[in-house]
Structure 1
Amino acid sequence: MNFQRIVIDNLISKFASIKSRILLVIEQLTDDDINWRPNEESNSIANLIVHIEGNIHQRIEAGILGKQDQRDREGEFDLNRKLKKREAVEIVIRNFAVLENTLKNLDENDYLKPQKIRQNTVTILDVLLQCSTHFSEHLGQILYIGKLKLDRKYKTTSIPRGKSF
């Protein structure tokens, strides 16, 4: 197995873990909990999920797959945005499936192809590594909000429960 394959497999595993942990937090919360924000300057879990969806659309679907970019980044952080728990789960499952399918369908040489992000030219691998970091940061926020809402009832998501991507 070459180094590039190890990196790709690691990315697939990382995204699977992020998805799984987001879903495990949502599973513990109510509709009201996922729409709660600690203060007006903070995001709710609903906002963060919609933001990750927007990022997957822009970076993966539009950037890598060449689809039309119709992202409304400002709308992702709308203070009035509300999601039902069921909708949040569907958004996570649908968007991480896009990510998974993209990763699995790229040829190893595709990972080194250039992509234009803002004013920079980067590789598809760079885009995916950045997405992994970005989603991990938002996972941390989601975990923290879940812990704030549930206090001692919170069940850790860092111990895998046997589910994969």
Structure 2
Amino acid sequence: MSIGNEYLKVVQERFKSVKDLGDKTINQLSEDDIHWILNEGSNSVAVIVIHLSGNMVSRWSDFLSTDGEKPYRNREQEFEDNILSKQELIAIWEKGWNILFDTLSDLGEQDLLKNIYIRSKSHTVVDAIERQMAHYAYHVGQIVYIGKQLKDKVWKSLSSQEENQKNI
């Protein structure tokens, strides 16, 4: 396997790992939990999910051929908690991740050094992937942190869940 194809395989696994942390956290949250905020300056899990999905849909749709900041994206609206249910939250969450994974699976080694644009600024595909990995890991970390605070003593460790699943 070439280094480029190995990189694409590894990065898909890393994105899946980040998503898995979010999945396991969201699964522990109630309808009320997804809307909880500490104060007016903080975001709820619902808002973070809306923002992540909006970013993913914009960045990864037509990834190689159009600017990653799509004209239809309304970033400011992503910070409004207008999710009605946990089921809707999960659908929005999955939509973004599905577009990301579909795009990554279509990329080949020959694409990694191509230039793409985000907000009219040129980036190599590798740089764009790494930029998004850092962004998504940051926000999923926020989701996990909020979840741990809310669930307190009933929080189920994300690493122990993984171990439990392996033992089934």
Q: Which gives a bigger RCO, structure 1 or 2 (Cα 8 Å, sep 6+)?
A: 1
Cα distance in 1, alignment partners of residues 83 and 120 from structure 2: 33
- Structure 2 counterpart of 1:109, one-letter code: Q
Q: 1:46 to 1:65 in 2, by over 3 A?
A: farther
- Structure 1 counterpart of 2:59, one-letter code: R
Identity among equivalent pairs (%): 34
Cα distance in 2, alignment partners of residues 118 and 64 from structure 1: 14
Unaligned runs of at least 5 residues, structure 2: none
- Structure 1 counterpart of 2:41, one-letter code: E
CA contact (8 A) 1:111 1:125 kept: yes
Distance apart, 1:119 and its partner CA = 4.7
Superposed counterparts of 1:122-137, under 5 Å? 122-137=123-138
Cα deviation digits, residues 20-68 of structure 1 (max 9, x gap)? 1111111111111011111110111001111111111221115435495
Q: 1:64 to 1:57 in 2, by over 3 A?
A: farther
1:32 aligns to what? Answer: 32
2:117 aligns to what? Answer: 116
1:105 aligns to what? Answer: 106
RMSD: 1.9
Cα distance in 1, alignment partners of residues 45 and 139 from structure 2: 9
CA contact (8 A) 2:54 2:78 kept: yes
Local SS of the residue matching 1:158? helix
Structure 2 residue 59 is matched with structure 1 residue 72: no
CA contact (8 A) 1:115 1:123 kept: yes
TM-score (ref. length: structure 1): 0.88
TM-score (ref. length: structure 2): 0.87
